[in-house]
């Protein structure tokens, strides 16, 4: 199950209490205060990992608390600090304060660590308060509580290339041919119901990550269909592949399909629509008399846009598309 939003609560461990004690050994004629300090509470950290791509585990476990610090003891023995708690989240997770909506952290790559809730400070024992004029203090501080915050986690998958288009445009089939991903493929709309990731290898040393999201339909930005919910997962991509179905049994005008998808991208995010985009005519093996394909060719010539013609079934044009995507990625490294 793919979960891309979650709400959790993080709590730092409370600090241990300071101790109030006095030395009373037999051969120590003049004792004194000997209460040790309490240990600091543990802190809660969030750390990004590449070994997870969903927030599913936070559906069942929403409370995360670090260990408390140990109390101080006599003979000037200080309490042990509480252990920190490290909670792993998928790379691409954004952390918000759930009360204020403030963005706290963006895990843009694996291995990053964010201090989510600091542990409390340990209290001071009475030995800390001894002075030349106050040699038997009867004061010890309690430990302070740790920080506590409600957080909202939002996952945006990290991918280089995002694949968009109408349902059944051939996005999942393309992903399965260019990578080792095995998304569900069928001839009915909305076969893909959650984002899919795959690594496309250009050669032994070069590769890029592709993201396929559920197909978009007209009015998607208003909540129609499935794709709008997952558009945020291609906001981080550097390149879009826009697949247009040119099979003869397709219903809509292919150029109108292109305009509808572009309008949905603009309605969702101006930045998303402004990303570099390669137009891809898919299913050329089923183009029949080629009227739909020729309409797309004419449009691209008029707009001076390159067109890539592919068939994920026969493999035609796939290598050219893959290498063109790699070149476009190198030109848009920022």
And the tokens for 206? 């070069």
pLDDT tens figures, 168-199: 888 888 888 888 767 655 554 555 557 788 88
pLDDT tens-place string over residues 270-291: 888 889 999 999 999 988 888 8
Total domains in the fold of the chain: 2
Is the same domain home to 125 and 19? Answer: yes
Query: 155, 187, 207: which is the final residue of a domain?
Result: 155
- Please, are residues 200 and 322 in contact by the beta-carbon 8 Å criterion? yes
To which H or E segment does residue 161 belong? strand 161-165
Reported as a pLDDT band with limits 50, 70 and 90, residue 227 is low
Paired residues of 329 in beta bridges: none
* Contact of 134 with 141, CB cutoff 8 Å: no
- What integer pLDDT is reported at residue 223 of this predicted model? 55
Spatial contact of 245 and 272, defined as CB atoms under 8 Å apart: no
CATH of the domain at 289: 3.40.50.300
Return the residue matching tokens 């978009």.
Answer: 216
Q: Of 139, 155, 171, which closes a domain?
A: 155
Same domain for 201 and 174: yes
Residues 151 and 272 in one domain: no
* Same domain for 113 and 199: no
Q: Say whether 245 sits in a helix, a strand or coil.
A: strand
pLDDT above 70 covers what percent of the chain?
Answer: 90
Domain shared by 38 and 118, yes or no: yes
- Return mean pLDDT, the chain: 87
Range of the domain at 260: 161-331
Query: Where residue 22 sits, what CATH number does that domain have?
Result: 2.70.210.12
What is the per-residue pLDDT for 224? 56
Q: Are residues 70 and 188 in the same domain?
A: no
HSE-CB at 108 with a 13 A cutoff on CA atoms is 6
Residue 293 sits in the same domain as residue 189: yes
Name the one residue in this structure whose structure tokens are 């402004």: 274
Are residues 185 and 172 in contact, defined by beta-carbon separation less than 8 angstroms? yes
306 in Cβ contact with 300 (< 8 Å): yes
Give φ, ψ of 300 to 5 degrees: -65, -35
Among the ranges 91-100, 155-164, 241-250, which has the highest mean pLDDT value? 91-100
Domain boundary among 98, 130, 155: 155
Residues 324 and 175 in one domain: yes
User: Is 103 found in the same domain as 119?
Assistant: yes
Same domain assignment for residues 219 and 282: yes
Regarding whether 199 and 246 lie in a shared domain, the answer is yes
Residues 239 and 139 in one domain: no
> Quick one: the chain helix, strand, coil %, rounded to 5?
25, 25, 55
Q: What is the pLDDT of residues 192-210, one digit of tens each?
A: 557 788 888 888 788 899 9
What distances in angstroms separate CA 233 from CA 4, 55, 78, 158, one per listed residue?
A: 9, 14, 49, 7
φ/ψ region of 182 (left if φ > 0, alpha if ψ in -120 to 50, else beta) reads: beta
Provide mean pLDDT across the span 98-127.
96
pTM of the model: 0.79
């Amino acid at each position: 199950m793919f979960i891309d939003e979650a709400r959790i609560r993080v709590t730092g461990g409370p600090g241990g209490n300071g101790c109030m004690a006095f030395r009373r050994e037999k051969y120590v004629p003049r004792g004194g205060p000997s209460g040790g300090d309490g240990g600091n509470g543990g802190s809660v950290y969030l750390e990004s990992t590449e070994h997870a791509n969903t927030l599913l585990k936070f559906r069942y476990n929403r409370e995360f608390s670090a260990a408390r610090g140990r109390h101080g003891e006599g003979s000037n023995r200080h309490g042990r600090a509480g252990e920190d708690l490290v909670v792993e989240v998928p790379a691409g997770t954004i952390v918000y304060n759930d009360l204020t909506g403030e963005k706290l952290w963006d895990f843009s790559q694996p291995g990053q660590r964010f201090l989510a809730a600091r542990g409390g400070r340990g209290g001071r024992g009475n030995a800390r308060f001894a002075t030349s004029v106050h040699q038997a203090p009867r004061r010890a501080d309690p430990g302070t509580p740790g920080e506590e915050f409600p957080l909202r986690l939002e996952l945006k998958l990290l991918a280089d290339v995002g694949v968009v288009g109408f349902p059944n445009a051939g996005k999942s089939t393309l992903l399965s041919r260019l990578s080792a991903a095995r998304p569900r493929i069928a001839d009915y709309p909305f076969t893909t119901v959650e984002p899919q990731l795959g690594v496309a290898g250009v050669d032994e040393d070069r590769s890029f990550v592709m993201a396929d999201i559920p197909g978009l339909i007209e009015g998607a930005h208003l909540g129609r269909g499935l794709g709008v919910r997952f558009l945020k997962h291609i906001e981080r991509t550097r390149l879009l592949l826009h697949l247009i179905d040119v099979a003869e049994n397709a219903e809509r005008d292919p150029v109108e399909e292109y305009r509808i998808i572009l309008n949905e991208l603009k309605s969702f995010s101006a930045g998303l629509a402004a990303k570099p985009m390669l137009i891809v005519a898919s299913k050329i093996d089923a183009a029949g008399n080629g009227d739909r394909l020729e309409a797309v060719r004419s449009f691209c010539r008029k707009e001076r846009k390159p067109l890539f013609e592919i068939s994920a079934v026969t493999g035609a044009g796939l290598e050219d598309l893959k290498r063109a995507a790699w070149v476009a990625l190198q030109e848009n490294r920022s």
